[in-house]
Amino acid sequence: MNAHAPLPGAAGGPVLRQERGQRAVFCGLTGIVWLHRKIQDAFFLVVGSRTCAHLIQSAAGVMIFSEPRFATAIIDERDLAGLADANEELDRVVRRLLERRPDIRLLFLVGSCPSEVIKLDLGRAAERLSHRVAPGVRVLSYSGSGIETTFTQGEDACLAALVPGLPPEAAGAPAPLLVAGALADVVEDQFARLFAALGIPVRFLPGRRAAEQPPVGPGTRFLLAQPFLADTARALEARGAVRLAAPFPLGEEGTTLWLRAAAEAFGVAPERFEAVTAPGRARARASLARQRALIAGRRVFFFPDSQLEVPLARFLARELGAALLEVGTPYLHRQHLAEELRLLPDGTVVSEGQSLDDQLDRCRAVRPDIAVCGLGLANPLEAEGVTTKWSIELLFTPIQGYDQAGDLAELFARPLNRRTRLEV
């Protein structure tokens, strides 16, 4: 667990920079927007302020829900002044919620900046409530606060909270491969088929329902499907599981290397690996060839957002021929990203952290062909004549695996394509 191990750096490899200042990123609460769709009988109750409630509904409220699976317990003055026992208040709110939604099987109490600053112990509250509502509902807690988590780190915190409650491995049978990270259902199904063809038994974290969570134990080997799962990996390792180092399954190359890490660990014969992956690789290459014409040679600038930036930059540079101007990431896990960094073109500037106005100055100075950024910056940059790809979409679009490689490239090609179409 040495996240700050020295990098290949000096002799070739990427150039790492760190920056501090104003950050234009989401907090971890935003993960709820896709997690509540992934685990179908889970409910996310944020314990926070009106700001937290406002954030989530601004992000998700354009969909019209007849039964939303998230809500906020808004802390008010009485809670702050100690006039109300915060724990009793929380119990009351949870009771009201569960009466209304008897279909809920898993309830996440999600910490926020206010609840962290006033040191409300949601871990204890979850434990207490779990006893009270058991066995029908499990109650867990994690923090999605902005002071501790950036955007996708909310998913990391959520999955890490699930890990201690995962069932132990069945004795005797060989432990299945564990794939960690919320994936689109269609992607998960594709990977399940590929692993089955390779003869590797596999389970996914998170499971789609509260009762369908994968087992874990000392025999478990796991692959991260997402680059932002530092705490989840640590929690799995604490239960004896072993991480298989690999780049992330983006693009033809990334997917192959990711699958190969599992194949090697499970002793799959190289001929079999070749035979199973060949059709997918061919399809991915074919679909990428079409997008390459539009993206090759384009200069790309990444603002930090999700920690997907480094794998995405690797994919754009190596498989589509894009030129990387700057690859911003909110946080760089040097160990989990080591395989990715090794694949980046020499001299690529990777900046960790952000000083927004300075970074905008750099972006304006180099005038990229495409800037990958959050929605707070996208329209303003477009108005300045910079083509943008809004980065949040990469989190709720199926992008992993062979059969999404073309779609992933298309996400970057589409704004460029659009620019050429519009005549007004």
238 lines the binding site for another protein (CB under 8 A): no
Among 40, 57, 130, 335, binds another protein (CB under 8 A): 57
306 lines the binding site for another protein (CB under 8 A): no
148 lines the binding site for another protein (CB under 8 A): yes
Size of the residue set binding another protein (CB under 8 A): 64
- The rounded Cα 393 to chain-centroid distance in angstroms is 12
Q: Given the complex with another protein, which of 67 and 271 has the nearer CB atom? A: 67
Among 62, 83, 365, 424, binds another protein (CB under 8 A): 62
Choose the stretch contacting another protein; rule: CB under 8 A; options: 22-30, 189-197, 242-250, 402-410. 22-30
Q: Is 234 exposed, middle or buried (0-12, 13-18, 19+ CB in 10 A)?
A: middle
86 lines the binding site for another protein (CB under 8 A): yes
Choose the stretch contacting another protein; rule: CB under 8 A; options: 77-85, 193-201, 298-306, 313-321. 77-85
213 lines the binding site for another protein (CB under 8 A): no
Among 15, 68, 128, 130, binds another protein (CB under 8 A): 68
Choose the stretch contacting another protein; rule: CB under 8 A; options: 18-26, 134-142, 251-259, 319-327. 18-26
246 lines the binding site for another protein (CB under 8 A): no
Q: Given the complex with another protein, which of 280 and 353 has the nearer CB atom? A: 353
Helix (H) or strand (E) holding 76: none
387 lines the binding site for another protein (CB under 8 A): no
Provide, rounded to whole angstroms, the least separation between the CB of residue 185 and another protein: 23
Q: Rounded to whole angstroms, how far apart are CA atoms 141 and 143?
A: 7
Q: Check if the beta carbon of residue 17 is closer than 8 Å to that of residue 352.
A: yes
Torsion of CA 375, 377, 379, 383, to 10 degrees: -170
150 lines the binding site for another protein (CB under 8 A): yes
307 lines the binding site for another protein (CB under 8 A): no
Query: Which residue type is seen at 93?
Result: V
Q: Given the complex with another protein, which of 9 and 21 has the nearer CB atom? A: 21
Contacts of residue 390, Cβ cutoff 8 Å, sequence gap at least 6:
373, 374, 375, 378
Helix (H) or strand (E) holding 53: helix 50-60
Contacts of residue 330, Cβ cutoff 8 Å, sequence gap at least 6:
23, 25, 150, 151, 304, 305, 306, 307, 352, 353, 354
Helix (H) or strand (E) holding 413: helix 405-421
Provide, rounded to whole angstroms, the least separation between the CB of residue 57 and another protein: 6
Helix (H) or strand (E) holding 211: none
Q: Known binder of ligand: residue 27?
A: yes
Q: Check if the beta carbon of residue 223 is closer than 8 Å to that of residue 262.
A: yes
Residue recorded with tokens 């990431």:
329
Q: Known binder of ligand: residue 158?
A: no
Residues between 114 and 143 that touch another protein (CB under 8 A): 114, 116-118
Q: Rounded to whole angstroms, how far apart are CA atoms 370 and 375?
A: 14
Provide, rounded to whole angstroms, the least separation between the CB of residue 169 and another protein: 35
Provide, rounded to whole angstroms, the least separation between the CB of residue 153 and another protein: 11
Q: Known binder of ligand: residue 113?
A: yes
Sign for the pseudo-dihedral over CA of 18, 158, 231, 176: negative
Among 14, 25, 246, 313, binds another protein (CB under 8 A): 25
Complete DSSP assignment for 88-143: HHHHHHHHHHHHH-TT--EEEEEE-HHHHHTT--HHHHHHHHHHHHTTT-EEEEEE
Q: Check if the beta carbon of residue 190 is closer than 8 Å to that of residue 202.
A: no
Provide, rounded to whole angstroms, the least separation between the CB of residue 366 and another protein: 19
365 lines the binding site for another protein (CB under 8 A): no
**Between the CA of residue 320 and those of 287, 332, 378, what are the distances in Å?**
11, 23, 23
Q: Check if the beta carbon of residue 331 is closer than 8 Å to that of residue 151.
A: no
Q: Given the complex with another protein, which of 97 and 323 has the nearer CB atom? A: 97
Among 8, 9, 100, 290, binds another protein (CB under 8 A): 100
Q: Given the complex with another protein, which of 23 and 318 has the nearer CB atom? A: 23
Residues marked as binding for [4Fe-4S] cluster?
27, 52, 113
Site residues (CB under 8 A) for another protein? 22-30, 47, 49-51, 53-55, 57-59, 61-62, 64-68, 71-77, 79-80, 84, 86, 89-90, 92-93, 96-97, 100, 113-114, 116-118, 145-148, 150, 357, 374-380, 382-383
Residues marked as binding?
27, 52, 113
